A = this chain, B = another copy of it.
Amino acid sequence: MQAVVITDGNLEIQERPTPEPGPYDVVVNVHAAGINAADLLQRQGFYPAPAGWPADIPGLEMAGVVGAVGDRVGEPLLGRRVCAIVGGGGQATHCLVPAEHLIFIPDDVSWAEAGGFAEAFTTAHDALVTQGHLETGQRVLISGANGGVGTAAVQIAHALGAHVTAVTRTNEHHGQLRLLGADETITTGEVASIDRVNLVLELVGAANLSQAQNILAPRARIVVIGVGGGSRVEIDLRFIMALRATLTGSTLRARSREEKADVVARVNQSLVPRWTDRELRVTVARSFDLEDATKAYECFAESGKFGKVVLHVDQ
């Protein structure tokens, strides 16, 4: 197979052995693969892939057609259009995936859109619902709302009946965010001025959270998913105590196979029907060919894009 390989901090296309599925795995013939902040960190030598995943092939998500199925997989999966989060190795023509991690793509969704679905929507749903306990009618603040996870989170929170305040560095994408379901759109400097919120989905880190901690409602939750805007933040513990607030955070990548299967099951149950109805859509900022991975990473690193950057893979 062909794969993007990290070599001394550079990205090269190399020929690698095509993976064989283990008894409970499938191999997907990849048509598209999204880019995430973790890929850029991994290229810089940080955030290595967890054990059991390709160490030097980046890519935390991909979409394609199931091309090989392990001999203990019970379901008829061969030929199904699927996408998935993976621990690494997504940016290649073939990708090994545990069968229970597959998300089933609606018929009329493009490969580019499917390639950018898994990581963003799985992360956003896990953070908003499973960790953040978001309920209908509650107020949620989503920082970095213009990115891949942000545009997913705005749509999911809106679909759940929450009041959504989308925060971005500039007001460039405010109109698009309202079309996705944001009730209120503000810039980072305006955070302290809005009504109190029940949930902060923190995709930026310290730069936003230092403000957002001042507008927490009683029993508010802060769920930290991204720290591109700084990781060290001064928290006033009096607010935490007086409001009985909670600060938590996570990454999906490091979770066990069983934990990821639980997360995926919730996505197939809760999000895929809404994706099929086009209530949820993946916003693709730009797509690049696999061979142009370096350009795609540069595009991802620029601020101010709206939605996902996706690699297109020929089959």
Of B224, B236, B254, which one neighbours A237 at CB under 8 angstroms? Answer: B224
**Residue of A224, A235, A254 with highest tally of chain B CB at under 10 A:** A235
A179 within 8 Å of B (CB atoms):
no
Contact B234 A240 (CB under 8 A): no
Q: Interface segment, A16-24, A148-156, A163-171, A244-252? A: A244-252
A51 within 8 Å of B (CB atoms):
no
Known: A246-B247, A248-B244. A231 touches B237 (CB 8 A): yes
Contact B209 A237 (CB under 8 A): yes
Extra contacts, 10 of them, besides A233-B235, A242-B254, A246-B246 (Cβ < 8 A), are A202-B237, A224-B240, A231-B236, A232-B236, A235-B235, A237-B249, A240-B248, A240-B249, A242-B251, A247-B247
Contact A235 B232 (CB under 8 A): yes
A241 within 8 Å of B (CB atoms):
yes
A32 within 8 Å of B (CB atoms):
no
A205 within 8 Å of B (CB atoms):
yes
The count of chain A contact residues (Cβ–Cβ below 8 Å) is: 27
A206 within 8 Å of B (CB atoms):
yes
Residue of B nearest to A238 (CB): B231
- CA–CA, A209 to B202, complex, Å? 22
Which A residues from 236 to 288 make CB contacts under 8 A with B? 236-238, 240-242, 244-251, 254
Which A residues from 208 to 245 make CB contacts under 8 A with B? 209, 224-225, 227, 231-238, 240-242, 244-245
Contact A241 B234 (CB under 8 A): no
**Which secondary structure dominates where chain A touches chain B?**
mixed
Known: A227-B237, A241-B227. A248 touches B247 (CB 8 A): yes
**Complex interface: chain B residues within 8 A of A209 (CB):** 237
Residue of B nearest to A202 (CB): B237
Of B225, B242, B245, B246, which one neighbours A241 at CB under 8 angstroms? Answer: B225
Contact B231 A227 (CB under 8 A): no
Of B202, B245, B249, which one neighbours A249 at CB under 8 angstroms? Answer: B245
Known: A233-B235, A235-B233, A236-B232. A251 touches B241 (CB 8 A): yes
| A203 shortest CB reach to chain B, Å | 11
Residue of B nearest to A209 (CB): B237
**Complex interface: chain B residues within 8 A of A245 (CB):** 248-249
**Complex interface: chain B residues within 8 A of A224 (CB):** 237, 240-241
Which A residues from 30 to 78 make CB contacts under 8 A with B? none
